[in-house]
Amino acid sequence: QVQLVESGGGLVQAGDSLTLSCTASGLTFSNYAMGWYRQVPGKERAFLSGTIGSGSSTYYADSVKGRFTATRDNAKNTLYLQMNSLKVEDTAVYYCAAARKLHSVVAMTADYWGQGTQVTVSS
C-alpha cells in the first residue's frame, strides 16, 4: 500500500531554518506530483507547494514564496521542504501528499496523504 511519511519537524527559534522530508513507498514516485501543506488547529489545511514528477517545476503559495523551497530526489523517493527565516506563524502540522496531476496537488484533492509532522517556532 502507499505510504507517505513526513519527518524533520521539531522546535526551532524564529529566524532558524529547518528541512522536512517526506518519504514515499508503494508507488512509482516519479509518476506523482507532490505537495506540501500545513494546518494550524482550528484552521483549514493550507497549500504550500506543488512539485511535478520530474522535479523540474514547483508552484508555491504566496505565503511561503521566497522563504520555502521544495525539492525532490526521485532516486530516494523523497520530497523535501527547506524552510528558511522561520516565523512564529509558521507553527503548524506539516503534511505531504501525492497525486497523479499537479492540479490535484494544488487543489488539495491529492490521492495520498502523510500523517504530518509538527513544526513549532518560538519567538
Rounded CA separation 36/25 (Å): 17
What average pLDDT does this structure show over 7-19?
98
What is residue 12's predicted lDDT score, i.e. its pLDDT?
98
So what's the pLDDT on residue 118?
A: 98
* Mean pLDDT of all residues in 60-78: 97
Cell of residue 21, nine digits: 522530508
| 70, 79 Cβ separation under 8 angstroms | yes
pLDDT of residue 98: 98
Place of cell 519537524: 9
- The bridge status of strand 3-7 relative to strand 18-25 is antiparallel
Mean pLDDT within 62-89: 97
